[in-house]
A and B are shown apart, each in its own frame.
Chain A
Amino acid sequence: MIKFLSTLLVSFVLLTSFATAEEAERNWDIIGYGGPGGLFDITARILQPSLGGKIKMFKTCVESANYARKTNKPSLILMDLDEHTRFLLKGDDQCTFFKKGDLPFVNIVGEGFLNIYTTKDSGNDMERFVNESVLVGVYEGFIMFQGAKTLFESINPKIKAVPYRNGGAIIAALEAGEIQYGWTSRPKSKYEVIMTADPEGREEAAIAKDYTDSGLNQSAYIFYVAGANIDPDEASKVIQKVLESDEAYAKMFRSAGYSITNGLKNRLDQRTILEELSKAYLVD
């Protein structure tokens, strides 16, 4: 019995280790937060084979930023606008890197515009969305939820935003008929996008800015990258190269309208742009 169980265990370990044997030249860790299967997890797994280091995922941005500030290893740190904004507005720098001497930005911003989607042939079209009392499933994160609520109310005051833990929970509720629409930056291909914050590649969908003047009509899920013990310019080029040529990134993100831009030059520019975005979410 012991032999049998040992053989099983060894076979499992060997099978998994063969698949992970590939080594990369660099040895940069990737630090992020959120659950497995989430945006950071997927992005980290796309980057990891080229960067060579370990993926270190934490539950919250506070833990990941705290770890990043202490690590001695070259590392990339993935941060998103949702948590960042919350901490920025509180004047708390645990999840932001604006303080002088804090970790440098790598000047890369991943941007995925948000979309309203629904089940195909359900009759839940744009006319219903702008006129009737309907329910829209939204990720429960504070900034994302408040932004969506404000935007929807500017389009149709009868719309109610309903908070869910993640995209899977929104899909389950949509399929169960609890809600009529979902709000996401990465709609699954089996669903129909009826309204988008960015018309590029979604010509069939209505454009949010045609229905509202709200500053949130170009809402996007945004994440950025900071670095630790790393040259930001070199890191920036590496990320750009990896993500632009990666097939999985293309399938998961670029096909959903995500883009990796290289527009932020320094800490001050970062702060100005992110503060403007942050204000748009809450002041609008």
Chain B
Amino acid sequence: MDTVLVFIAALAAGTVTGLVPGLGIFAALVIAYVWLMTLDPFQVVMFYLVAMSVSQYFGSVASTVFAIPGEVSSIPALKEGHALFKRGLGNKAIMYAATGSFIASICAVLISLIAFSNIDFFYKLFDSHVQAVILVGTSTLIILGSRNKLYINLLLFGLGFFLSYIGYHTHSGETFATFGIPQLYGGIPLIPVVIALIVVPEILSSYRQSIKKNKKDIILSFDSYKKTFWELRNYKGTLTRSTIIGYIAGFIPGMTFVAGTSIAYYVEKIIQRRKNQYIDNQGNIPCLIAAETANNAGVYSQMLPLLLAGIPITASEALVYEMIESRGIDPSNSFFAPMIGLLTVAFILSSIWGLFTAGKYANLINSIITKIDFKYVYIGVAAIMLGVNFIAGSGMYAEWYYMLVLLCLLPIGVILRKCDMMPCLFAFVLSYPIESSFRRIIAIHFGVV
């Protein structure tokens, strides 16, 4: 019974973290820390896996309808899904994304069942050299795949790197552009960057456009799901490619499904461009499916190093690891191995829940927004984002700092609203992993840092 309650709490936590920007799974674990410490270790791991799985479904719905990215991995859904939504194809986008995600989740479980005995091959693959190659490759894909001119993409990438570099650097003990202001030592926070450079430009460019309202609800019948599954056969190349990319990228320490989502999205974007099937700002279904599919495949595969070898490869997993270890338990593979079967069942159940409730949630939103002018929705979204920024800042006792950073970055977002700001955002996110992997490579080969 207790485990069922924990499962329900994890569904709730996943739903909330998917819908609320900035409230990632890591933050959810921190908020629920004291409660989680009272649970059985199996329940802790299950809570983490289920919440993370569900948050991906709801993150894509919020991005598609409201242009609110629940987390960085939802930004491709914002770009493609929201453009489709404005053309009256929101229901289709949500159903395809949710169904594609579900298929990827099941495929990830099946691949793992086949590869369980050789799973160490995957995580041993990602040493610092391979990580550096993948991160540089991802950056190249982003620079080449974004719709701006090449030199603008390079400049935006540089801007993202510059913003991420502000602050105190633990490894060198040096500071960059802090001007003695204590808050700047912690660097520029991600949330105001996402709001100023991605969400606000999206709202500004959408505000004056007419939204084609689709009054049809998603019909949540067996036949409608069967139909969507059947239609997805037209995208089997995209599904296969993105599932594999997402699954393998899930093993990249520190980046996992965020890297998988970005790589799959940009690979698909380049393919669609070559086929002349990608039209800017119109929304592209294969690109949306690619991002969402890779996302969910990576959510499962990133757990495997922890479950099969006792190796935490993300900050959230390290926290789960510490929670278990603090009870005097050695979180090794022999401890996790007996849990894998039940955890997989919980993961599949959460995927089924995500698949069906995402559609139900989309219907609820659809019934509301068909009755109002969508301009008011955008005003509401802008107000919510301001609130989210303030609350996220208050969590770090720096609410006015967060507001000030947002205020400083907003002019950049407004001036560059016609640009695709993804190179800037991804440079901001990828800069530390790129820099640190190169530092390790230099240390390994030359012994100096």
Listed in ascending order, the chain A residues whose CB lies under 8 Å from chain B are 1-2, 5, 8-9, 11-12, 15-16, 18-20, 35-37, 42, 45, 56, 58-60, 62-63, 65-67, 83, 86, 90, 94, 135, 140-143, 145, 160-169, 171-173, 175-178, 188-190, 248, 251-252
Contacts and interface: CB of A to CB of B under 8 A. Distances in A.
Interface in B3-40: 5, 8-9, 11-13, 15-16, 26, 29-35, 37-38
B185 interface: yes
Contacts, number: 170
Interface of B: 5, 8-9, 11-13, 15-16, 26, 29-35, 37-38, 123-128, 167-168, 170-173, 182-183, 185-187, 253-254, 305, 309-313, 315, 317-319, 321-323, 325-328, 330, 332, 357, 360-361, 363-364, 396-398, 436, 439-440, 443-444, 447, 449
B9 A140 contact: no
Contacts of A11: 5, 8-9, 12
A9 B127 contact: no
Q: Which A-B residue pairs are the 7 nearest by beta carbons? A: A59-B186, A8-B12, A142-B173, A19-B35, A66-B182, A12-B12, A168-B318
Given A8-B12, A141-B171, A162 B396 contact: no
Contacts of A161: 443, 447, 449
11 contacts: A9-B12, A16-B32, A20-B34, A62-B168, A63-B186, A160-B443, A163-B439, A167-B318, A168-B317, A173-B127, A189-B330
A164 B326 CA distance: 22
A42 B326 contact: yes
Contacts of A12: 8-9, 12-13, 16, 32
Question: Chain B's interface: helix, strand, loop or mixed, by majority?
Answer: helix
A162 B31 CA distance: 33
B330 A172 contact: no
A141 B254 CA distance: 18
Question: Chain A's interface: helix, strand, loop or mixed, by majority?
Answer: helix
A36 B30 contact: yes
A56 B33 CA distance: 14
Contacts of B253: 169, 172
Contacts of A172: 123, 253, 305, 311-313
B444 A176 contact: no
Contacts of A167: 318
A15 B172 contact: no
Nearest to A13: B12
Nearest to B171: A140
B285 to A, nearest CB: 26
Contacts of A142: 170-173
A248 B325 CA distance: 9
A2 B15 CA distance: 12
Contact of B11 (A8, A141, A162, A169): A8
A199 B330 CA distance: 23
Contacts of B124: 175-177
Contacts of A190: 310, 330, 332
A163 B38 contact: no
Given A163-B439, A175-B123, A176-B123, A5 B332 contact: no
B185 A67 contact: no
Contacts of A145: 171, 449
A176 B439 CA distance: 18
